[in-house]
Structure 1
């Protein structure tokens, strides 16, 4: 039996029902609607806000590396700088409080759009250990991920864990593993890591967890997000499947109905735009 077992969060314990960048895009839309009249004039859509956030994350990751950390950042720190960058004037209220509110909004979105992996618990039974922690490279704090896991009923199995932003060290660099081993008095031989991405550092036993069906679905979400053509083709296919059989319609009615199906996503999107 191993002394310590660390398990990744994303694509291991829980999975998203959407592409990861969709989460950031949803937060950008929330901020765009909330502060629409206070935004810098060049920011005309939530996509612009999304791009600004990505830019700030890159800058903050570089700043962390300059002072000896890994390229990591905390979510609320990103939001504070984001707000300072995108708004024409300083907020009349405490920016820290607003940043926390936005972070909570993003957490609620994650809760609504994630689900537990359906086979990870049985898989973990094959690798028993005295102690189990979740361990992941992520910009939310462990306190926020605790809430996320509790929402999905995983908190009893994983009551504690550590995120890279908690200590500004990453798994991918190996330094987060070193930190964990030092603080839990475990050497590499007694440490096992289970993840969708295999850590190849420090001699840790690494178990690659990548169920084929789930991985295939993740790849499809990636394609839908990155390609508008693929997305609209997918939406049209779903609309046709939902509409059912055309056999009871004449040729003119079929053609008209199919045209309506093709236009439906555009009309719905336009209606949502007006509603926003």
Structure 2
């Protein structure tokens, strides 16, 4: 077989990239994908925003044990612990990578002291993965390509530079419904060898016995997913999606405006609620009315109600009439997801 010259190609729409992937697929036996901002996109513009509810959760758990600590302090401790691990890793490896189970255990030990248990780490980890997965959406055109390549018998891998180890990434992929298509998942958190330095690609090549000439890599970073694979003899396709960049810039603007002008909280919420990728299908009029108006209205009220009950120490809420039944259902479904510490009133 004649193999194409090793090179990196950049595409500015996902449809262009997928078309290129299809046309080149016959020349390759192995295809690897970056995960975040490639296979999966986040509803939020800043992935670090996922950390805030986790910090609030840890703060609430600490308060149950009579340890008063604000979520802002929790976040600061986490950031400092992660930074320290990255600096320590950088003394041995080119990539200053971090590993979530390690720095989160250190964070929790620092906060809870002798009350720390492995069960506590599991609770926090599960909550963070829940929050992360709730923000992730598979990119529909790329998933069609993945399914086609899988049916053709290609070897498919996910390679990610992230502090979550592969076992956690597999949970996210499984919840997104796409894990079965991949032979394995590789994370820099497990080896501290990342795509950013190029060290990840020889590692994967050796472990899975891949011929570089038959390997195609797809991602969104021009260095980690473009230059570094080429340096290892791997052809790469890089996605610089202008539409996705605009979407994230818009929600970032609304988010920043909302800090000083409450009106933009609603606009930010509307932007975050937009159906993305395969979610964006034709709906009935009543569904759209509920999605655009009644859902946000009831959801915001129930959120406020739960906050007030927690603040005032109320232990039971009664919902009256037919309308009250709707509010009760929303409360019973949503509030356990928002307040995972379980400090909620009973409903009737």
Q: How does 1:120-199 map to 2 (within 5 A)?
A: 120-124=142-146, 130-198=154-222, 199=225
Map of 2:51 onto structure 1: 24
Runs of 4+ in 1 over 6 A off after TM superposition: 126-129, 268-271
What TM-score, normalized by structure 2, do the two folds share? Answer: 0.62
Taking only aligned residues, the RMSD between alpha carbons, in angstroms, comes to 3.2
Map of 1:65 onto structure 2: 90
Q: 2: distance between equivalents of 1:123 and 1:23?
A: 29
Q: 2: distance between equivalents of 1:72 and 1:130?
A: 30
Structure 1 range deviating more: 103-112 or 120-129: 120-129
Q: Please, which of 140, 148, 156 is the counterpart of residue 118 of structure 1? A: 140
What TM-score, normalized by structure 1, do the two folds share? Answer: 0.76
Give how far 1:69 is off: 6.0
Secondary structure of 1:208's counterpart equals strand
Change (3 A) 1:80 1:192: same
Conserved 8 A contact 2:31-2:155: yes
Secondary structure of 2:95's counterpart equals coil
Q: How does 1:260-275 map to 2 (within 5 A)?
A: 272=307, 275=310
Structure 1: stretches of 5+ with no match in the other structure: 241-264
Q: 2: distance between equivalents of 1:238 and 1:171?
A: 33
Q: 2: distance between equivalents of 1:175 and 1:40?
A: 43
Change (3 A) 1:29 1:205: same
Secondary structure of 2:29's counterpart equals strand
Structure 2: stretches of 5+ with no match in the other structure: 1-26, 271-299, 312-348
Q: Please, which of 81, 87, 90 is the counterpart of residue 106 of structure 2? A: 81
Tell whether 2:64 aligns with 1:34: no
Map of 1:255 onto structure 2: none
Q: 2: distance between equivalents of 1:239 and 1:184?
A: 44
Map of 2:245 onto structure 1: 215
Q: Please, which of 29, 32, 47 is the counterpart of residue 3 of structure 1? A: 29
Q: 2: distance between equivalents of 1:163 and 1:195?
A: 14
Conserved 8 A contact 1:16-1:114: yes
Q: 1: distance between equivalents of 2:253 and 2:91?
A: 34
Structure with the higher fraction of residues in helix conformation? 2
Map of 1:205 onto structure 2: 235
Q: Deviations over 1:77-109 (max 9, x none)?
A: 11111012234x421x52x33212211111111
Q: 1: distance between equivalents of 2:305 and 2:126?
A: 28
Change (3 A) 1:234 1:82: same
